[in-house]
Amino acid sequence: MSTTFCVEQKRKKRKQKTVFILPFIGDFSNSVLTFLFVVIGVNYGFSPIQIGWILSAYGITYVVMPAVIGRISDKINHKISLIISVVGQILLAIFLLIIFSFFSSPSSHSLVFYSIFIEQLLRGIFFSFYWPVIEAYLSEMGEHSFKAHKESINNFCISWGLGMAIGPFIGGIFSDIDIIFGFWTVLFSHIIALVIVLTEIKKPTKKNIDFQKSGNSEDIAYFNDSEKIPREINGTKVNLKQINIFLFSIAFIYALESKLIGSYFPNYALLSDGLGLSEPLTGELMLIYGIGQIIFYFIGRFFKNSFKALLSSILILSCLLILLFWVRNLIVIGVILFFTGLILGRLYYISLELLMMYEKKEKGKKAGIFESLIGLGGIISPLVTGLLAESMLNLPFLVHGIFIVAVFIILLIFKRTF
């Protein structure tokens, strides 16, 4: 009996490790395509606002769909949602290969612009079946204890963080050789994802557990720690609605600034009036930024998750963005990008982990709202950034930094209400 149990546990752990490849593939493909689209935009002479429209197209559909799909995914098999998503991504990769293999040319400015724009719109829809479902699924995988839940979210962040870090670096290499290789890489990545979904994704069988009532001393200690947002503080029930508003606000800030760095900074770096860097060097800087995020995901489990941590993080983030407005030294920029990645990783990890920890019944719905806010930031950030860049290429960093200072003050005041 014990031997059978051990074999079963090993099988489950193997499946969990395999499933964690999906977040890597998702953000790897996303970041490769985002980088390639920026390079294509620069090569075709698109203006900052045109590139802004291209990069915001993903968010236009992603802002609405995740909340809808996330809610539906609470009622249907996760596997179905993921199959729809991955098959859609495969078809879009084939579409890009056809366009850029047979129909693109230096004179096909409009065709390239609208092809990428439409692809981004559709990709936002298909990824709406992807991220909320994966977040909910992995959260459910760790429902049997607080430790397992935290590790599940932590490993999820490490996985997609690795994909996000490596993607622009690979994109920089391919853009220096042939952009088509990047599209082939994305296609093969999603084929691998489809195999994983078909063979490894199963419907979770464990029931949701309230960690406060689990009897586990570690879980009880977690919720008795006032820094960890317990459901009761000194006998007073915490307003979970206000907590959600706070955490969703952090998610929106993360979306705005991660889009600023992940999408606009490569454009700023490549333009001759900006930093005037080559594609590979720009990809290396983005790799440094991604490494910053990954490092926090590795060490995040050893730190307390709290409102104070989130507030201090956005204040530091504002300073880093303002520095990007002034600095042009590549070494200093690399350091700034590293710490920006570290802070953004902290914002994402803490807000998502706490949000999923508190939601017991409709994880897909909450994850969907979380991802919709990511999509909203994905719309607003490129468009506003593009408009600002029309005046001065480095102005977006200053404006974003000042904006975050204002948000910090608002959230600091709001925190006192609960």
CATH classification of the domain holding 294: 1.20.1250.20
Report the domain count for the chain: 1
> Could you tell me if residue 222 is inside a domain?
no
User: For residue 74, what pLDDT is reported?
Assistant: 56
Residue 237: phi and psi, rounded to 5, are -70, 135
CA distances from 110 to 97, 113, 173 (A): 17, 5, 26
Helices (H), 20-108: 21-43, 48-62, 65-73, 78-98
> Could you tell me if residue 226 is inside a domain?
no
- The per-residue DSSP string of 286-321 comes to HHHHHHHHHHHHHHGGGS---HHHHHHHHHHHHHHH
Which range marks the domain in which residue 267 is found?
Answer: 16-202+233-415
User: For residue 207, what pLDDT is reported?
Assistant: 46
pLDDT along the chain (418 residues), means of 10: 49 64 91 91 87 86 70 68 92 94 78 92 88 72 59 78 88 86 94 90 52 44 42 51 85 92 91 90 92 86 80 95 94 96 90 71 68 82 90 94 95 80
| 3-state SS class at 6 | helix
> Could you tell me if residue 214 is inside a domain?
no
User: For residue 26, what pLDDT is reported?
Assistant: 92
pTM of the model: 0.75
> Could you tell me if residue 220 is inside a domain?
no
> Could you tell me if residue 210 is inside a domain?
no
Give the contacts of 193 (CB within 8 A, at least 6 positions apart). Answer: 21, 22, 25, 26, 86, 89
User: For residue 359, what pLDDT is reported?
Assistant: 60
User: For residue 10, what pLDDT is reported?
Assistant: 53
| 3-state SS class at 233 | strand
Structural tokens at position 269: 């770096």
> Could you tell me if residue 134 is inside a domain?
yes
Q: Under a CB-based contact definition with an 8 Å cutoff, are residues 289 and 369 in contact?
A: no
Q: How far apart are CA 297 and CA 192, in angstroms?
A: 24
> Could you tell me if residue 217 is inside a domain?
no
User: For residue 147, what pLDDT is reported?
Assistant: 63
> Could you tell me if residue 225 is inside a domain?
no
User: For residue 4, what pLDDT is reported?
Assistant: 52
